[in-house]
Each structure stands twice: as C-alpha cells, then as structure tokens.
Amino acid sequence: MENTAQYREVATFAAGCFWGVEETFLQTPGVLSTRVGYTGGTTEHPRYQDVCTGATGHAEAVEVTFDPARVSYENLLKIFWENHNPTTVDRQGPDIGSQYRSAIFFHGEEQRQQAEVSKATLEQSGKWKKPIVTQIVLALPFYEAEEYHQQYLRKRGLPSCHT
C-alpha cells in the first residue's frame, strides 16, 4: 500500500509585526499552515502585553509548516527576504522594538546553512546599502500567540497591515 501522507517541515521567521508576515506565507503554495507567536526570548508562556514591553526578549514570529515537495526552504527564505527590510535594527515600518527584529530561527543544521548562504548572497547582491542585521539563531521554544492574533488579517478581510 502506498504511503500518501504528506511530508512536513517547519520554518520560523521574524520580520516585524507577525500579521502581515503570516499572510504572506499563507499565500504561498506548499505552505500547509501557519501560526503566529513569540520566540527567541527568555520568558516562558509570554502574553502579547508582555512581549510589547520588549522585556521578554521574544520576537513576534511566524511558524510555517510546509511541504518541501511543493515549496523549498530556500524559496521560503527568498519570500522572507523580499517582504521586509533586513537592515533596520529592531524595527519594521512603524513598529519599533526588539520584538520586531529580523530573525531566522533555524530547525537543524541544513536550515542554518541555507539561511547563512541566502543572507550572504543577499549581502553580496548590493540590493541594500546598509548592512543586513537579520539574526540567524537556533529555534527556541515557540509560544503560540493569543487566538485573536491567528490569521488576523484574513479574519478581518484586510489584504495587508497598511491599507
């Protein structure tokens, strides 16, 4: 009997406010699901109000579950780089604070290597005049954000955060 189970991998990205980042990945063929939350900090089970203070060390992030037969991790990295400014420290657009930093949280050595190569390639391309400040760090525990944050833009019929 043929195994028809879908193969799944997980990737985690922080690129500013998680609402828009999540929507970008939800529109990607091969992405099976997303969830927004908090990672990269020291506070266990933080709430949104905690993360907003900047004291938890967490970033607003999106955990992306994907089918690597349909979309590669390399392609997800490309989407990540194309959809935010990786040269601003602790800021994306109007959102300021360490919780809005640019970061790739890798799950395993292969993801780490691919992330490092993609960052170096982008730096060498000259697309950005300022240095890329994106962190590439080991994925730490991911704390799912409150339900009202999940698929926030879709639930409200909004195409993006800044409409």
The catalytic site residues sit at 17
The residues near 49 (Cβ < 8 Å, ≥ 6 apart) are none
Residue 122 φ/ψ, nearest 5 degrees: -65, -40
| Closest alpha carbon to 14 in 86, 111, 113, 116 | 86
Helix, strand, or coil (residue 45): coil
